[in-house]
Structure 1
Amino acid sequence: MRQVLTVLKEQIKYTPMMVRISRYEDRANYQSHYLGLLWEILNPLIQIAIYYLVFGYGLRGSQSISGDVTFLEWMLAGIVPWFFINNVVLQGTNSIYNKIHLVSKMNFPMSILPNITIVSNLMSYFVMLAIMLGIFLIKGTPITIHWVQFIYYFIAMIFFLFSFSLFNATVTVLIRDHAFVLQSLMRVLFYLTGIVWNIPDLLPAWAYNILKLNPLMYLIDGFRNTFLMNQWFWETPSYTIYFWLITALFLFVGATLHMKFRERFVDFV
């Protein structure tokens, strides 16, 4: 528990530094591109259009998901947070390994590197979120009191991503193959999390319940429940408790491993 508290204190203390580094990295990544940071928006928009054409019109024939909820609304509510989650997980996994030699010469803790990845992806996420809400308003999606629940799921998503990324970033330094395994796993989870198809309509209840062990499904279903299905998170208390237990487990194991090995990270690279 002491390691967890140490890591959390480091996140609070070095928050201004995380923001400055994330802004610098954003500019550095796109400085040689004519459209610059606009590519962070164009790439997901192109992918959304492709998925909608293939899975919306091609396979479903533009049928609704449930009642008045169209496939486009349903897909957007899941795929927008997925793009953010996927980018943070994959980039965060290598966040310590890629900067180990640089960080070892500077005076700030390595535990903030996964959080820098989260901060650097927030701008594109909020822009995509604004586009999604704009489409909802154009299509006449009802605005309900359940929309305030977005705050809860956003906080849950950030906590999970930090815990998961800290664990993955630490293990990747120790076991390099971990990053490649996780990259393949995220490709599989895109379909098993139900981003582009409604899993309950395709699988029996017992198979769906097994897939719900994936904590990412809790987040994706949560955003859909918030904007489209009008369901509160406390209506599924056991599922909510399970999600936070998994998040706490990743944080505890990740912080313990990180504090145990970070003085020797350079030796593993």
Structure 2
Amino acid sequence: MKEQWEWRKQILSLGLFDLKKTSAGAVLGSFWFFAKPAVYIFCFWFALEVGLKSGNQTGSDVPYILWLMGGLIPWFYMQDILGAGIDVFKRYSYLVTKIKFPLPGIPTIYSISTMIIQAGLVAALLIVFFLCGQTADWYLLQIPVAMVLMFVFFDLFSLMTSCLSAISKDFKNLLQTLSTPLFWLSGVIFDVYSMGIPAIEAILMFNPVTFFVTMYRCAVYDKMWIWEKPEAIIGFVVVFILQLIATTIIYKRTHEEVADVL
């Protein structure tokens, strides 16, 4: 935290630069940041609500598209972290090998650029929310809180996994292999709380993806507070503490070797 605070201006500047660099060379520029999520959302909406009639099974007057977007939009951020975010030291290898830049700040660069895209997707979610005839309420305040928690959690996750990925390519391959199963087994496109299998529901409460998806849906669809589902909070807190401990241990043991390996 100390290193990141001292280098905060450089980290923010590099995060914004990374976003500009990604869209450089494209005529439509930043449009492509939102085109792919929009296509994904439409395809899932068509398959689940039009094809499988899942919207009729919720028993709610709130449009099903809000439930679906409440799960997919946070997943887009987490998917990026589980993709390029698990190996950012190689993505920004020049900061590791050629510049004296603090290692903990490098994952934050990618997290910032990815979170800016997430903020744009949240804005789109709110537009759909109001177009569906919903009115603003206090529950929407859970979204910025969820975004902050998601940023902190996955920034730590990116630091931990990048240290390990720099040491071993097998770890990177393992995480990339698990990305797709994580999507299908995390309640992104199904309701964890209506499974009717208590043991599995209890296990999924320790899945951070499930927690963030639940928090978004509490804000835009369920119209309730996340603390009304204490099992989700308990599971997330336990996982967050364990990850914080693991990240600290792994960073202390590997940060001096990362530059040499790269």
The aligned amino acid for 1:117 is Y
Distance in 2, matches of 1:13 and 1:193, equals 37
| Partner residue, 2:69 | 76
- The one of 1, 9, 15 equivalent to 2:2 is 9
Distance in 1, matches of 2:61 and 2:26, equals 41
Give the C-alpha shift of residue 208 in structure 1: 2.0
Q: Does 1:267 align with 2:260?
A: yes
- The one of 8, 12, 20 equivalent to 1:19 is 12
The aligned amino acid for 1:110 is L
Distance in 1, matches of 2:16 and 2:198, equals 45
After superposition, the Cα gap between the structure-2 partners of 1:145 and 1:98, relative to the gap in structure 1 and judged at 3 Å, is closer
Distance in 1, matches of 2:141 and 2:13, equals 29
- The one of 176, 190, 195 equivalent to 1:197 is 190
Q: Does 1:186 align with 2:179?
A: yes
| Partner residue, 2:205 | 212
Task: Map residues 1-269 of structure 1 onto 2, 5 A cutoff.
Answer: 8-60=1-53, 62-63=55-56, 65-269=58-262
After superposition, the Cα gap between the structure-2 partners of 1:237 and 1:212, relative to the gap in structure 1 and judged at 3 Å, is closer
Contact 2:85 2:158 in 1 (8 A): yes
Give the C-alpha shift of residue 199 in structure 1: 3.7
Distance in 1, matches of 2:98 and 2:140, equals 45
Q: TM-score, normalised by structure 1?
A: 0.89
Distance in 2, matches of 1:9 and 1:236, equals 34
Give the C-alpha shift of residue 195 in structure 1: 1.5
Q: TM-score, normalised by structure 2?
A: 0.92
The 10-residue stretch of structure 1 (38-47 or 140-149) with the greater mean CA deviation from structure 2: 140-149
After superposition, the Cα gap between the structure-2 partners of 1:146 and 1:21, relative to the gap in structure 1 and judged at 3 Å, is same
Aligned residues with identical type, % of pairs: 23
After superposition, the Cα gap between the structure-2 partners of 1:212 and 1:138, relative to the gap in structure 1 and judged at 3 Å, is same
After superposition, the Cα gap between the structure-2 partners of 1:36 and 1:161, relative to the gap in structure 1 and judged at 3 Å, is same
After superposition, the Cα gap between the structure-2 partners of 1:151 and 1:62, relative to the gap in structure 1 and judged at 3 Å, is closer
Give the C-alpha shift of residue 139 in structure 1: 0.7
1:193 partner SS: coil
Distance in 2, matches of 1:31 and 1:144, equals 38
Give the C-alpha shift of residue 204 in structure 1: 2.0
Distance in 2, matches of 1:63 and 1:205, equals 24
2:232 partner SS: helix
Distance in 1, matches of 2:232 and 2:214, equals 11
The aligned amino acid for 1:159 is V
